[in-house]
A = this chain, B = another copy of it.
Amino acid sequence: MSQNIRKLDVKVPAVAESAYAITIGRGMLGRLWGQIRDRWPALNPFIVTDAELVKAGHLKTLLGNESVPSFVIEPAGEVSKHIQTVVAIVEEMEKNILGRDSIVVSLGGGTVGDIAGFAAAIFKRGVPVIQIPTTTVSQADSSVGGKTGVDSSVSKNAFGAFWQPEAVYIDVETLMTLDDRQYRAGLVESVKHAAIRDKDYFEFFETNINAILDKDMAVLEKIAYTNCRIKAEVVAEDPTEKNLRRILNYGHTIGHAVESASGFELLHGESVGIGMIAAGKIEQRLGLVADNRLERIKELLLKLGMPTTIPTALDKQRLIELLRKDKKAVGSWPRFILLESLGTTFCKEGQWAHEVSQDTVEKCLDELYE
């Protein structure tokens, strides 16, 4: 080897703090397009939505008679959350002669937002994206925080990027057309936010459960606002999930395994609900028994019509196998987010994700079977 090694440092400069706004209201979709065009007059919009949103009339409400280049994901749903959908979107943008001065507008649920956000992140090294979430899950969760991604033919979320939205617009009126099962399952993410960070919010949920099930729009606005406030606090502190942001994963570790083992027959929210109860069982075995939160969480999930046990058809060994492959696993076994009390996540020595033995997890799963 040469004795004459030269070294040179390339500085990557600091990036200043920035911010984006979430606007929450009801019935604003029909006036939003004008606002977007006024606010970003120099950018050429491209809309990404799905066949269900078109059918429900929301694209028409947004655009009125305007004709805007767009891509309608078909079929709607997880099955289209694939890298080839992103490739098709980018190629459609190019066919519309869109360049770096374009802005992607995502109208839809979490799947549409993940696909559109990722397409925006990688189109010509990145263009801005506006998120208009239209489901309880996406209004509570996936439209805020900048996580985007799609599946490969080998596994879920193989591709992705952190890509913060330019703005988020939440119109709770779009929830009125949402299928009832989707509507209720999506509220589990709200219960999750309450459980990990805000006891008052949890009590608001308990008190207003009938208004929530009746889709009372004033209550839904309050829920949308509180969800976004909690999520914004967490992601602002830790945008790329080095530590605190992991608390948003509460209920998700076992939830993801259950969702996947069910072949996505169970919805994301339904699976996360089961995961929250499993976390409660783990807490009990570890002696984190400050209050009767597990009973209250279970009660609330039951009122939302959520399953609170694991269907017997889901083999426990399969769940263990899926937990070993969890994308956040360290040494082939995931860490778990646990509660200390209702509204407070358990933190030990600065860490939010905790080691729990496979034996303990297996015992808790055993208790959860129907």
Interface residues of A (CB under 8 A from B): 1-2, 4-28, 30-31, 83, 87, 90-91, 94-95, 99-100, 118, 121-126, 144-147, 149, 152-155, 157-162, 164, 168, 221, 225, 228-229, 232, 235-237, 239, 327-329
Contacts and interface: CB of A to CB of B under 8 A. Distances in A.
A232 B236 CA distance: 31
B124 A158 contact: yes
A224 to B, nearest CB: 8
Contacts of A95: 154
Contact of A18 (B12, B22, B24, B145): B12
Contacts of A168: 10
A8 B87 contact: no
A12 B5 contact: no
Given A13-B239, A125-B161, A5 B24 contact: yes
Contact of A235 (B10, B22, B149, B161): B10
Contact of A7 (B24, B123, B145): B24
Q: Give the interface centre of A6, A23, A221, A236 by most chain B CB atoms within 10 Å.
A: A6
A11 B19 contact: yes
A14 B15 contact: yes
A296 to B, nearest CB: 27
B18 A17 contact: no
A16 B12 CA distance: 9
Closest 6 CB pairs of A and B: A11-B236, A125-B160, A15-B15, A94-B154, A10-B232, A6-B24
B8 A21 contact: yes
A259 B330 CA distance: 48
A194 to B, nearest CB: 17
B10 A144 contact: yes
A236 B8 contact: no
Contacts of A4: 25-26, 221
A7 B21 contact: yes
A19 B25 contact: no
A100 B240 CA distance: 13
Nearest to A217: B2
Q: Give the interface centre of A14, A125, A149 by most chain B CB atoms within 10 Å.
A: A125
A27 B2 CA distance: 6
A22 B8 contact: yes
A238 to B, nearest CB: 8
7 contacts: A2-B221, A5-B25, A8-B22, A8-B232, A10-B145, A12-B20, A14-B14
Nearest to A170: B6
Contact of A124 (B7, B94, B160): B160
Contacts of A225: 6, 8
A295 B27 CA distance: 67
Contacts of A24: 5-8
A1 B20 contact: no
Nearest to A145: B10
B27 A5 contact: no
Contacts of A147: 125
A14 B16 contact: yes
B19 A1 contact: no
A118 B145 CA distance: 22
A145 to B, nearest CB: 8
B26 A2 contact: yes
A1 B124 contact: no
A279 B118 CA distance: 37
Nearest to A20: B10
Nearest to A147: B125
